[in-house]
Each structure stands twice: as C-alpha cells, then as structure tokens.
Amino acid sequence: MAEVVLFHHAHGLTEGVHRFADTLRQAGHTVHTPDLYDGRVFDDLAEGVEYAQSLGMATIVERGAAAVESLGPQLVFAGFSLGVVPAQHLAQNHKSATAALLLHSCLPIDAFGGAWPGSVPVQVHAMEEDPWFIDADLQAARTLVADSTDAKLFLYPGARHLFADDSLPDYDEATAGQVMRHAVGLLNAVDARQRKP
C-alpha cells in the first residue's frame, strides 16, 4: 500500500475531503488528513481564503511539514487547491517523497527550490476553464510536465474549482470519479514500485 498525506483546501478539512481520503483507503492505501486550520471549517470560500491569508503561506507550509515529521519513510503528498502549497513543497524537498497528487492547483517549480525530482511522479488535475487555474497555475503545470520525466496534466471540461469535494457546490461526480481512478492508478504504481526487491 502507498502512504498518502492529503492536505485540505481553503474551506478547511471538510467532510468531502474526509470521504475522498476514505475512498483511497478503500482502494488499499493509508491516508493521513492533517488539519492546517486547527479545526476551523468555512462554508464560504472567500472567508477560508481570507483566513489562509491571515495565517500566511509560510505558516501553511510549516504546518504541513510538521504534520509529516512522525510518518513513514515513503510518502505520497497530495493536496486540494490551497493544500497543494504544502504538498508540492514536500514533494520537491522532503526525502520521503515517492509521488505527488496536485488537485485544482499547481505552483511554479522554482517556488520551492528549482527542478522537480526525477524520482517523484506527479499528477495535476483541474478543469480547463477554472478561473482559479487557467492562468498562472496552468502555465506552471505545463512547465512541470515539460520539465519532468513522469508528470501528467489532466484537464477536464468545465469551469468548476473544487469539483472533487462532494460536500461543496462545485462537486462534479463524473469528473471526480475520473480523478479518483487516475489517483488510485498512481498510488497502485507507487505501491508496486515499493514492493520490488
């Protein structure tokens, strides 16, 4: 099994994030869901973004790093939107990184120290007309795919942002199902690689 650290989005650690994690567990993998917000959950995305900004991205990254200190030596780092910040930072810099799953967001690789590590496969998932993604994030994702040996960008029809969280209005069941199939495929590949003698 792969061991996954899944970071939540700006709404906080919603029931939808928990259910996404549960589905990965049902596929045979271990999933941790750190709470970067100390229990706060926001119904309104703008309020959640405002709270994240009040914390600062440096604090978000620090809390993400602290959450993995006691975990295993081989970890998949995953994140929903805001959660991509600590997930991508750890995927690029933590010695335990085995893969990354970036949902609804992607940052420039030089934001976290340069090149993407060649040993870390990565998937980026977003909707092709998502206004939160189509400018800087899309360019960052395309650069990541071009510069990496095992990176895939999945763009789906539509303009929704947090479409993989079934507790939010942007949820899209069909597209979320596609994301889950690709994510489980990535985790199964990580698991198979780890089992090789």
Any idea of the CA torsion for 31, 161, 13, 110, to the nearest 10 degrees? 70
Distance (Å, whole) CA 197 – CA 195 = 6
Write out the residue range of the structural domain in which residue 64 sits: 3-195
Tell me how many domains the chain contains.
Answer: 1
pLDDT attached to residue 197: 67
For residue 52, the domain's CATH number is 3.40.50.1820
- How many whole angstroms from its chain centre is CA 60? 14
The pLDDT tens digits of the residues spanning 107-157 come to: 999 999 878 998 899 999 999 999 999 989 999 999 999 988 899 999 999
pLDDT attached to residue 194: 85
What is the pTM for the complete model shown?
A: 0.96
Q: CB-based burial of residue 81 (10 Å sphere; 0-12 exposed, 13-18 middle, 19+ buried)? A: buried
Q: Which of 95, 76, 72 is nearest to 87 (CA)?
A: 76
Distance (Å, whole) CA 133 – CA 137 = 5
Contact 10/48 with Cβ under 8 angstroms? yes
Which segment of 1-15, 48-62, 103-117 scores lowest on mean pLDDT? 103-117
The pLDDT tens digits of the residues spanning 76-100 come to: 999 999 999 999 999 999 999 999 9
